[in-house]
């Protein structure tokens, strides 16, 4: 894919590109953002080095992908509620050190995420890994693909909070009922058709996916465990080493990510935006399940 305003350096065959030739702090032409969007849909995650972004420029970058949200679980940069502070003091796992896509417990999960390194551990560490869920689906083969396309899974925030104490405090019965009221379980296809590219993509993850419907619970547990293990194949992945002012943009529908917690007791601070949303649509069955649209 050729671009007028930027140059891409591929990271792995499955996904990822480092973008050269763009100063994100001084972009004025909508055409630049359009090329970044097209590169993202093609490569699933993009990386930029040495980007000293003002909050205004960071906000404009996010807005190119849709309306930035005000997130319910994070503090924000003063005056910019769209820019979340994703911070770890290095004393305990932030629970992002496992493979997941974000907020799939919603009926319309976030579509694109933008992350910028602000403060990094002095002793190194804190890399982020991404895996292509389109490549993971393609690798399963037609027989298993055809089975998974027929299935629907339940994604459940209150269940995940109960299962994983890292995510929050122990709720009282009243707080638990309120959480369930605000975030009832959501059903998504196990395999979706990507909203932009149409590519068949796995859409279950180890944090938010509770069960697969209409099969024995024991089979659901084993199938989800198998898929959670499958997406960890190195062939589907890349690993990014952060430097101060590095920026990553990723497609939350096309990928899962894993934030390595190997920097204790050093702190780590990132600024993040989550932009746009979509309702995951089921992938249509075909004679060649793994082909991308």
Dihedral over alpha carbons 119, 79, 183, 248 (to 10 degrees): -40
100 in active site = yes
The Cβ of residue 228 has, within 10 Å, a number of other Cβ atoms equal to 18
For residue 45, is it left (φ>0), alpha (ψ between -120 and 50) or beta? beta
The phi and psi torsions of 257 (rounded to 5 degrees) equal -140, 165
Q: Spot the catalytic one: 116, 194, 268, 272.
A: 272
272 within 8 A of 49, measured Cβ to Cβ:
no
Residue 102 is a catalytic residue = yes
Task: Find the angle CA(10)-CA(11)-CA(14) to the nearest 5 degrees.
Answer: 95
Residue 144 makes CB contacts below 8 A (sequence gap 6+) with none
> Active-site residue among 43, 59, 102, 156?
102
Extract the runs of DSSP E, i.e. beta strands, from 166-252.
186-189, 191-193, 200-202, 209-212, 237-240, 247-251
Looking from the CA of 235 toward its CB, the CA atoms found within 13 Å total: 9
- Count of helices and strands (H, E) across the chain: 7, 17
Q: Which of 100, 116, 199, 211 is catalytic?
A: 100
Catalytic residue among 155, 200, 257, 268: 257
Q: Catalogue the active-site residues.
A: 100, 102, 257, 272
């Amino acid at each position: 894919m050729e671009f007028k305003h930027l140059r891409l350096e591929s990271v792995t065959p499955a996904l990822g590109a480092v973008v050269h030739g763009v100063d994100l702090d001084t972009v004025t032409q909508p055409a630049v953002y359009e090329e970044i969007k097209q590169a993202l849909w093609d490569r699933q995650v993009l990386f930029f080095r040495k980007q000293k972004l003002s909050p205004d420029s960071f906000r404009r970058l996010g807005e190119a992908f849709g309306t930035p949200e005000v997130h319910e679980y994070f503090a924000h940069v003063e005056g910019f509620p769209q820019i979340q502070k994703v911070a770890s003091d290095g004393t305990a796992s932030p629970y992002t050190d496992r493979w997941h896509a974000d907020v799939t417990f919603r009926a319309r999960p976030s579509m694109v995420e933008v992350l910028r390194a602000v403060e990094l551990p002095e002793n190194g560490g804190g890399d982020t890994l991404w895996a292509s869920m389109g490549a993971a689906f393609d690798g399963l083969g037609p027989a298993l693909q055809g089975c998974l396309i027929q299935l629907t899974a339940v994604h459940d925030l209150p269940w995940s909070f109960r299962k994983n104490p890292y995510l929050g405090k122990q709720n009282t019965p009243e707080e638990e009922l309120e959480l369930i009221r605000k975030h009832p379980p959501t059903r998504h296809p196990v395999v979706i058709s990507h909203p932009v590219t149409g590519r068949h993509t796995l859409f279950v993850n180890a944090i938010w996916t509770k069960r697969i419907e209409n099969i024995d619970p024991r089979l659901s547990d084993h199938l989800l465990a198998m898929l959670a293990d499958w997406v960890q194949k190195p062939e589907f992945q890349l690993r990014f080493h952060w430097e101060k002012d590095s920026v990553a943009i990723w497609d939350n529908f096309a990928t899962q990510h894993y934030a390595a917690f190997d920097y204790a007791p050093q702190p780590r601070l990132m600024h993040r935006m989550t932009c746009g949303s979509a309702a995951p649509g089921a992938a249509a069955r075909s004679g060649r399940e793994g082909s991308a649209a």
